[in-house]
Amino acid sequence: MKSKIIVGPSVPQGNRKILPIIARMLLRLSKWRVTGSIPNEQKIIVIGAPHSSMIDGYYVLLAVLSLDVKVKFLAALWTFSRLPILDSLFPSSQNNPDEYGVRWPLGWLQGILMRRLGGIPVERLSASGAVDKLVATINEIDKIVLMLAPEGGTEPSEKFKSGFYVLSSKLDLPILPIQFDYKNRHFNLLEPFYTTGNREKDMTDIRQLFHGIEGKNHTFIA
């Protein structure tokens, strides 16, 4: 199936030539499609769920590149220099989440690529004040599409972290929900959500948007 999506002219673009073509080809070969629209806003908070597998990142990357949208995303510090590996082999990672995985000779190149793709490293052991730092950073940027995983990781969870909501509220930015629908191999971009100030109700309404969507490893139940 062909992807059908509308990207507003104010949305930051990557202006890439070759990568979007390759990404669209790989998406087509994987039988994934992207539908919906990205609102005509210079700054947007994007949330995607259910996020239940590391492979989600690969398909999301293809989707983003296929649209030639320039995004920023938060990623654990270890993903900028280390390779994922079983905790049972490297038990030290259980004590320090910033040292998950194992170092390798090309870790420096991994860090460069992550940043070029829009990655913002997050230290899990010193997360205090992270939201306020992000608010300050975003206020200094003219255009940004910030992608966040509301579940906070790949472990099955029916609850959402509140970071994305706090950012949206403090910066008065729309939230763009994206369903990761593995059953139909479909990235479905929903209508933008605007916070009302009623945090409890808003979070419930947002979670309902993902109810019944089948991820790679679990189905989200609101």
Where are the chain's structural domains? Answer: 4-70+143-208
The SS3 call for residue 118 is coil
Tokens 């139940």, residue?
Answer: 221
Residues 6+ apart with CB under 8 A from 172: none
Convert the pLDDT of each residue in 68-99 to its tens digit.
999 998 888 888 998 876 544 555 545 666 77
Average pLDDT estimate for 127-153? 83
Average pLDDT estimate for 134-149? 88
Which among 69, 63, 71, 70 is positioned nearest to 25, based on CA atoms?
63
Beta strands in 101-166 (DSSP E): 102-103, 119-122, 144-148
- Whole-angstrom distance, CA of residue 204 vs CA of residue 82: 36
Average pLDDT estimate for 151-178? 90
The more confidently predicted of residues 24 and 129 is 24
Average pLDDT estimate for 12-23? 91
